[in-house]
Amino acid sequence: METTDHTPKEDLSAGKAEKKQSKLFLFLFLFTAVACGIFAWLYWIQKNETQEVVIENIEITQESEEVKRDLQQLEKEYEGLQTSDSLLKNEIQEKATLIAQMKIEAERHKNDAYIMAKLRKETNSLRDIMRHFVKEIDSLNTLNKQLIASKDSVTTELTIEKKKTTALQTEKDNLFKVGSVIKTSGMAVTALHVKSKTKTEETKKAKRTDKIKIAFRLGENKIASKGSRTIYVRIVTPDGKEWCDSPDADHLFNFGASKGFYAMKKSLQYENEDIDVEMFVRKKENEELLPGKYLVEVNMDNARIGSAVLELE
């Protein structure tokens, strides 16, 4: 029987190999465990990041939809603002135009959280401005109602006052201009009966009246301009007609905002000093004057500067 002998040197080598192999297995095991741990950690991080991105995208989408809804509602509210004030109307239109542009931006950048946040802030600002517009429109409407009520009250008072005054007084108040109006004094209107070519006498009878004499003094006025003036005599007969040679355009003249026919006119030179004036209005041949009151007016510079009443029997 053969016996194998092992030397201590061979046993030592085998032990070292086994120990080295064990360390290698241990290293590979640890490396694999660490690698698996790292991959698991990376997977967990990636999963969390993906979930955050998904959540963020959902939130951005929701924010975008809310902003667009708010803009649509705000646009309708601005369309409902009605005012007659031109400046306020322009401001409202500017804001409405801005809202339309913001709607386009909201659709174009619906996935941009920064843009959505900015549009949200601008929407809130525009809503605050709209509330200010509403208050301002309410104030204007209240003021307009007060003005209308005040106007109606004044109109009523004026109507009552007009009924208390005559048309003559109203016309006089409207035509006279303070300061530059040349006034008359000592105005006298006389009915004359012609007895001969050189002789006349005063009369109170309508049937005996051949002409009417109008005498007055143009007063001194340093404010009025110097120069040529034309004086018009307007006579309203008892039947309400205007006395004139011919009721045509050649005998029309302006007095204030009205037009009428003159019975006589005369031109003179005014030098800012007193002037005595006499004017005669002759009746037509075979014409008979009506008994009653004759309103005689003297007009110059588009204003009535004197008036008197002649009453014939």
How far apart, in whole angstroms, are the C-alpha atoms of residue 289 and residue 299?
23
The answer to pTM > 0.75 is: no
CATH second-level architecture of 170-312?
Answer: Sandwich (2.60)
Q: What is the pLDDT of residue 176?
A: 46
Kindly report, residue by residue over 7-16, the tens digit of the pLDDT.
555 555 666 6
Please say whether the beta carbons of 182 and 224 come within 8 A: yes
Kindly report, residue by residue over 38-78, the tens digit of the pLDDT.
766 766 666 555 555 445 556 677 777 888 788 888 788 88
Range(s) within the chain of domains with CATH label 2.60.40.10? 170-312
Q: What is the pLDDT of residue 278?
A: 93
Please say whether the beta carbons of 268 and 229 come within 8 A: yes
Kindly report, residue by residue over 251-309, the tens digit of the pLDDT.
999 888 888 999 999 999 999 899 999 999 998 888 889 999 999 999 998 888 899 99
Kindly report, residue by residue over 141-185, the tens digit of the pLDDT.
777 778 787 777 777 777 787 777 666 666 555 544 566 778 888
